[in-house]
Each structure stands twice: as structure tokens, then as C-alpha cells.
Amino acid sequence: MGLGTTPAAPHLASKDDVLTTRLDHLMDILRQGTVNWARRNSLWPMPFATACCGIELMATGASRYDIARFGAEAMRFTPRQCDLMIVAGRVAIKMMPVLQRIYLQMTEPKWVISMGACACTGGVFDNYAVVQGVDQFMPVDVYVPGCPPRPETLLEGVMAIQRIVDNDGIRPSRERGGGRGLRLAVTAPAVPVQLGLPGEN
């Protein structure tokens, strides 16, 4: 037989009571409440626009759609000041090392939006010269579909990034996952081959 226990009566708070908490819990609440809020509302995009999606990206920053409502109007063209890369349009194989270098120069935490069918899957350019999705070579957080996607769709992608910032906080991109990770587009050349006529030394 069990011992009979009576539940404790709930404590009624008075104005003389003091609330105590552990410092790490308080710092976690402050970090989520302030740092994530500030980071979410001050995204600095790095545009990488190569085709017709770039025109829609420009329209998103114009007065009709006004990406400034979401705190992402400060488009910078230096990767060390940006935390959101927007890859808009097709990416050729020869451009991929440049895109990867820009991505690697961005500070952590960083996020990537793949905008348009060409950036997501290669689009109608199913050939050897166009990358069939940038997620093969770098992590992508949000895919924005369309050919080209309308500015409202890109704004929805920016809001999805804001939700990711709220949920994930300041975790680096390699911990969040996404895409297939970072694979280098170009590797170091193999041993150089000497070409010459047969019989020459």
C-alpha cells in the first residue's frame, strides 16, 4: 500500500515575493527575444542576379513592393557586410567558383535564398554549361519557385528566412544543414601533362 500524500497548496504571489531564475535561462530568453528580433528585422541581402529574376529582385526593392517593410532594403555588394544571399537567375559552371567565394566571405550566421527555376533546378537550361541547382554546391535555406517569380513570392521567401532566424537563432549554416552542403566547384588541377609530338623528348 502506498503512503497517502496530499498535494501542496499553490503559492499565491504577493508584492513582497521575489522571482529568481538561473542566469543562463535569463540570457537565453534575452538572446531569443532581442538578438533574434534584431537580426530578423535587419537582414542585409547580397544580390547575385544574373538574368530575368534580377529584374524581379529590383522590383522587390522598389516602392511598389518595398522590401524595406521587412528590414531587408540595405542591399550590399560586399559579402563581409551581408548575411542573406539571394541567388537570382541561372548560374553557369564558370560562375560557380565566384559564387562560392562570395558565400565563403560572408559572415556567420548566413542564409541563402535560391530564387527562380534556373537557380533552383537549372530551369529550361538543361545543358552542360548551367548548374542544375545551386544546392549542389552550397547550402540553400529557402527556394522561391517561378520563372521568374513575382516580387510577392520573393517577399514570402524573405519572411520564411525571418521565421528561420526566429527558430534557429544564431546557429551557423553548417549546423542548420540545407542543400547538399558546400562542395567546391573547381578542384586543384592534377599533375600537368606535357603535350608534344610523338618521338620528342
For the chain, give every domain's residue range: 36-176
The helix or strand, by DSSP H or E, that contains position 117, with its residue range, turns out to be helix 117-121
86: pLDDT confidence band, cut at 50, 70 and 90?
very high
Q: Is the pLDDT of residue 199 over 70?
A: no
> Are 84 and 110 a contacting pair, CB within 8 Å?
yes
Quote the pLDDT of residue 186: 47
Q: Let me know how long the chain is.
A: 201
CA distance 193 to 161: 47
**Beta bridge mates, 114:** 87, 143
**Beta bridge mates, 49:** 88
Q: Which of 46-60, 130-144, 180-194 is least confident?
A: 180-194
20: pLDDT confidence band, cut at 50, 70 and 90?
low
Q: Between residues 184 and 13, which one has the greater pLDDT?
A: 13
ω into residue 109 within 30 of 0, thus cis?
yes
CA distance 133 to 184: 14
Q: Which of 107-111, 150-154, 187-191 is least confident?
A: 187-191
- For the domain spanning 36-176, the CATH number is 3.40.50.12280
Q: Could you tell me the three cell numbers for 167?
A: 527558430
CA distance 174 to 145: 24
Averaged confidence pLDDT in the chain:
78
CA distance 47 to 23: 40
115: pLDDT confidence band, cut at 50, 70 and 90?
very high
Q: What residue has cell string 542544375? A: 132
Q: Is the pLDDT of residue 109 over 60?
A: yes
40 contacts: CB under 8 Å, gap ≥ 6: 71, 162, 165, 166
